[in-house]
Amino acid sequence: MRQPAGSSPSSPLALSVGANDGVQLPTPSTQAEENLEIRIWGNATQSTLIYLPGLHGDWTLIRSFRKALGSQMCFVEITYPRTLTWSLEEYAAAIEHALARQGIHSGWLLAESFGSQIGWHIASRELFHASGLILAGGFVRHPRRWEVHAAYHVLRIISPRWIARLFAVYAACAKVRYRHAPEVLQDLAVFVSRRNDLDRRAAQHRLKLILESDLCRVAKDLKVPVYAVTGLLDAIVPWWPVRRWLARYCRTFQQHAIIWCADHSVLATAPQRSAKLILGWISTQANLRQSGQEQPST
């Protein structure tokens, strides 16, 4: 089920899907800690873009990007459960199941950072018909695994008091970092409030999945077009080794764009430029399909 046509774009259809096979909710609820949550903006007459968030796992940094998309796409926001056990394959299967229950069987995957690891799985399994995969600060195999190791061990030992201090610094820097994303700044208090101890442990588990993951073979064999956008100032996932690998080994790789004023959270730090790029890529592929052509890889 999609959000009914004519409903207010400011009020998403929010659903929590978990062990009880899905419960429709008027707003996101605390069940999202155990269940996978979906927020759907738009209606069935539009093409669908599914957002797979990064390590933080929710929608709290994406509102400015969604606003920049306007009414041109049906936008689906995924919030991961704070699971400490799921594999990447289980993440992918749960998202496929949740989308299918809402009548969403095809669309573009917008995979941010950690979400790229899930996006490769969904696009390759072909249970969900992916029109294409767009990486936003994403990767195949993390190019600096020592950094992931370090972050994993920091999250393992850090105290709640130090987490609070770090997020106080994060919030202080946000006015500069998200200066082009006023909606993100408005949601910042919600973002910080969701970073509780269970969230910390869930993020640590996701880092462990990154360390265990090597999706090179999956990326080489993928059949759908792949695009990538990243910020120039990305110190978390350096873009140059990712771009070099994709250009050399991913047969369906189409284009990589660098946004100069953005960092790792490119969708939040440059939402308007990111949206314009992504809408252009989707339009290009739609035109090629209509004309019966295939986009050559680069």
275 Cβ neighbours under 8 A, 6+ residues apart: 65, 68, 69
Residue 293: predicted pLDDT: 66
Please measure the distance between the N-terminal and C-terminal CA atoms of the chain and give it in whole angstroms.
Answer: 37
pLDDT surpasses 90 at 124: yes
Helix-helix angle 88-101:115-125, to 10 degrees: 70
Residue 35: predicted pLDDT: 86
Q: What is the mean pLDDT of residues 242-255?
A: 98
Residue 164: predicted pLDDT: 85
Work out the number of other CB atoms within 10 angstroms of the CB of residue 181. 26
> Pick the residue with more confidence: 174 or 76?
76
Backbone CA torsion sign across 270, 128, 281, 143: positive
pLDDT surpasses 50 at 159: yes
Q: Among the listed ranges 43-47, 113-117, 181-185, which one has the minimum average pLDDT value?
A: 43-47
* Extended strands (E) in the chain: 13-17, 23-25, 36-41, 48-52, 74-79, 106-112, 129-136, 226-233, 253-263
Q: What is the mean pLDDT of residues 219-245?
A: 97
pLDDT surpasses 50 at 297: no
* Fold adopted by 13-291: Rossmann fold (3.40.50)
270 and 262 Cβ atoms separated by less than 8 Å: yes
Cα angle, residue 153 at apex, residues 33 and 175 outer, rounded to 5°: 65
pLDDT surpasses 60 at 19: no
Residue boundaries of the structural domains of the chain: 13-291
How confident is the prediction for the chain on average, in pLDDT? 88
Helix (H, G, I), strand (E, B) or coil at 66: helix
What distance in Å separates the CA atoms of residue 218 and residue 223, rounded to the nearest whole number?
Answer: 10
Measuring CA to CA, how many Å separate 255 from each of 53, 211, 214?
21, 26, 22
239 Cβ neighbours under 8 A, 6+ residues apart: 228, 230, 231, 232, 256, 258
What distance in Å separates the CA atoms of residue 170 and residue 192, rounded to the nearest whole number?
Answer: 9
Beta-bridged to residue 258, according to DSSP, are 230
51 and 38 Cβ atoms separated by less than 8 Å: no
Residue 34: predicted pLDDT: 58
Q: Among the listed ranges 3-7, 185-189, 201-205, which one has the minimum average pLDDT value?
A: 3-7
> Pick the residue with more confidence: 288 or 5?
288
Q: The tokens of 293 are what?
A: 């052509």
What distance in Å separates the CA atoms of residue 15 and residue 116, rounded to the nearest whole number?
Answer: 22
Length of the chain: 298
Helix-helix angle 197-212:145-157, to 10 degrees: 150
Helix (H, G, I), strand (E, B) or coil at 246: helix
Residue 14: predicted pLDDT: 57
